Amino acid sequence: MSSVVVEPHAAELLADVRETCASLREQFPTARCLAFWDFDGTLLRGDCTEGYAERGREVYPGLARLAIARGLSADYPVEGGYAAWKDDYAELKRRVGPWLAYPWIAQVWAGAEEAALQELARQHFSVTLSRHYFATSRLWFDGLAADGVEQHVISASPEVFVRGAAASLGIAPERIHGIRVRATDGRLTREVGYPVPFGEGKLTRLHEIVRASQAESPLQRVFVVAAFGNDFVTDGPFAAFVARQVLPTGTPLAVMINAGLAPAEYRHVFRSVRQARIFASV
């Protein structure tokens, strides 16, 4: 990673988290340090489901478009289906809001073979999406991994899509948590698993993960040392929880990437940074 060009804030913030982990491990030698990430717009420039465009030009297609083109949605046909999907998704967000729009994205694959969607996601990340990670986010992610920090991704994308990133991030798929729908006999259903990882649902999922981690190793202390997001609505609750913790030693870090001005309830809570450099572009 030393040859990758990153933003000036990269080294400073990585050093801050490392210092906190080191101080915790000095006081608690068997301590487990955890970090939590949003995915779209935080690790990945753009959105793995919806794709990404700049100035009206498509940079890469999203997995929704590719899945429809392969005939993996019973709701949307190959011919003209993606355009209809985009219109329906935009209307659902406008009329109802993301609380139902995001789970709906995972539900439109009902009847599809889970393995087929998983393989599509793995291929798209391997060939295309892995070239669009933010360089600084990858520096942090890889640096924390090298220091033994256990990292989890909590995303509002369908889990069957976002887990395709596992190999490119070097973590187990089970550490990537998205919107889940139940599978029966290898095929997805419309039954959504809760909590939905959006807003407060992301915080609930974080607590579930921490409890499970503590149950795995009851003689070890588990500490959440960092959180990374890019949106105050979707990521604010879980990132603010991390930032406001009082650890036995050291200071937790919560970073908002390209999020703009924080609303009043989050003023002076996060480190706000701007990132544009891409991992594969250097």
The secondary structure of 179-221 as a DSSP string is E-EEEETTEEEEEE-SS-SSTHHHHHHHHHHHHHHHHH-TTS-
Question: DSSP assignment, residue 47?
Answer: B
Does 1 fall in a domain?
no
Give the ranges where the chain is alpha helix by DSSP (H): 9-27, 63-69, 81-95, 98-107, 114-127, 135-146, 159-162, 166-169, 200-216, 236-243
pTM: 0.95
Domain membership flag for residue 33? yes
- Measure the CA–CA gap between 156 and 167, rounded to whole angstroms: 19
Give residue 116's pLDDT.
98
For residues 107 and 190, is the Cβ–Cβ distance under 8 A? yes
How far is it, in rounded angstroms, from Cα 38 to Cα 256? 10
Cβ contacts of 128 within 8 Å, gap of 6 or more: 60
Which helix (H) or strand (E) covers residue 234, if one does?
none
- 3-state helix/strand/coil string of 64-88: HHHHHHCCCCCCCCCCCHHHHHHHH
CA 228, CA 199: separation in Å to the nearest integer?
14
CATH number, domain at 214? 3.40.50.1000
Contact (CB, 8 A) for 210 and 35: no
Q: Tell me if 3 is assigned to some domain.
A: no
pLDDT reported for residue 4? 64
CB neighbours of residue 234 within 10 Å: 24
Lay out the sheet containing 32-37: strands in order across. 176-179, 150-158, 32-37, 222-229, 253-257, 271-273
**Number of structural domains the chain divides into:** 1
3-state secondary structure of 250: coil
Residue 2 lies in a domain: no
Q: Which amino acid is at 122?
A: R
Among residues 145, 152, 155, the alpha carbon closest in space to that of 46 is found at 155
Residue ranges making up the domain that contains 197: 9-281
**Ranges of the chain with pLDDT below 70:** 1-4, 280-282
Say which DSSP state 251 is in.
Answer: -
DSSP 228: E
